[in-house]
Amino acid sequence: MATFIMLGNYTAQGIANIKDSPSRLDAAREQLAPLGVELKDVYLTMGEYDLVVVVEAPDNATAVKALLAVGAQGNLTTTTLAALTEHQFRNLISEME
């Protein structure tokens, strides 16, 4: 599985309907599950971003599809980062010449 870090900010629509946010999160999990995409961890944060979400997906294309579907609802703007786990990082370094 590929890991992604999604940094999100509520849009005006998203913040106006903030009380619906937990149910939107549940709906997103259900919507993404058939694609093999899992929201592993969700954090409400203070600072530059409102949310940080750790996402696992089978591949980049599936992650893009999933995150575009979430973004198309208009409640969040996102920045997504591809991430390597510590184990993947260690393996990558050990393979360096």
- Give the CATH number, domain containing residue 85: 3.30.70.920
**Domain range enclosing 22:** 2-94
At residue 19, the pLDDT reads: 97
How many residues are present in the chain?
97
Rounded mean pLDDT, 82-94: 94
pLDDT exceeds cutoff 90 at 97: no
- Decide: 54 and 3 in contact? Cβ < 8 Å: yes
Tokens of 93: 């370094």
Threshold 0.85, pTM exceeds:
yes
Q: CA 26 to CA 45: how far, in whole Å? A: 19
pLDDT exceeds cutoff 90 at 28: yes
Q: CA 14 to CA 54: how far, in whole Å? A: 20
- Split into its structural domains, the chain has a count of 1
